[in-house]
Amino acid sequence: MTIHDNRITFSGSGLVEASYVPDTFYITHGQERKNLPDFSQAEMLDPLNLDSAPWFCNVRCGRQGSEMISQFFHGKLPDGREPAEGAGYAYAQTGQSGNYDKMNFCFTVELTLSGGETTKIHLAQAHGKMGIIHNFKEIATIDDFGDGVFEEVYKTVIAGLFPFLTTDNPWIIRGADLHLAQDGENVFCYLEVSGSKYAVIPQDNGFQFAKMKTED
């Protein structure tokens, strides 16, 4: 059995802390894991976000996909609620969204955001190579938010990511506070917690969080 280093990074000025929620790690039956998820903060600041340092996690385990893990991931939301229609979407690090037939493992992460809000998300590693998928039940549009809501840095970063069509074993997030909006062909993801909105920006091996502007 092959053991892999499965690394994920959470970063951005909108994030204060990322931590593993105990007793939430599930892996395909028969696969070995060497450690539970353990987040640690980098000593160096992120050069693109000098007011924050990224959080890293590495899970050393096998990568055998199963429908059981996918079904668990797409079931109840991290706070135990059943998913409501049009809520709790899954979103991948390459800007993908939708359902995935097989996943390797999943666990729950608690995020502390820069405004002091906290939220929990499911985090999973999908199995194999995934392409961009647009199969939403219902989705808002950028027009619903008004002008100037999204930070320019968010639009700049996201525009450069959508040409990437596939990646191996992408990370997927899902949560009750996670929402999607669409601007033409581009799909935007954000967290809304206690009235504050945080852009979720897919990165090479993780996600970046940036607090969004509010309308005047």
Residue 178: what pLDDT? Answer: 86
Pick from 12-16, 92-96, 100-104: least confident? 92-96
How many Å apart are CA 187 and CA 175, to the nearest integer?
17
**pLDDT at 102 exceeding the cut of 90:** no
Question: Per-residue pLDDT tens for 131-183?
Answer: 443 333 333 444 444 444 444 434 434 443 443 445 678 888 888 888 877 66
Q: Which residue has the higher pLDDT, 29 or 165?
A: 29
**pLDDT at 126 exceeding the cut of 80:** yes
Owner of token pair 């000025």: 13
What is the total residue count of the chain? 216
User: What predicted TM-score, i.e. pTM, was given to this entire model?
Assistant: 0.79
Question: Per-residue pLDDT tens for 180-210?
Answer: 776 655 667 889 999 898 888 877 788 888 8
Q: Which residue has the higher pLDDT, 151 or 93?
A: 93
Q: Which residue has the higher pLDDT, 77 or 118?
A: 118
Cα torsion 162, 166, 168, 174 to 10°: value is 50
> Is 143 in contact with 119 (CB distance < 8 Å)?
no
Where are any strands of DSSP class E within 160-211? 167-168, 171-174, 178-183, 186-193, 196-203, 206-211
Q: Mean pLDDT over residues 64-73, rounded?
A: 88
Of the ranges 22-26, 69-73, 76-80, 127-131, the best mean pLDDT one? 22-26
**pLDDT at 39 exceeding the cut of 80:** yes
Residue 117 falls in which region: left (phi positive, over 0), alpha (psi -120 to 50) or beta? beta
How many Å apart are CA 111 and CA 192, to the nearest integer?
12
Residue 84 is classified by DSSP as: P
* Sequence spans of domains, the chain: 4-211
Residue 80: what pLDDT? Answer: 67
Please provide the DSSP assignment of 86-122 as one string.
Answer: T-S-EEETTS-BS--S-EEEEEEEEEEETTS-EEEEE
Q: Which residue has the higher pLDDT, 137 or 60?
A: 60
| Proportion of the chain above pLDDT 70, given as a percent | 63
First to last CA, the chain: 56
Q: Three-class SS of residue 156?
A: helix
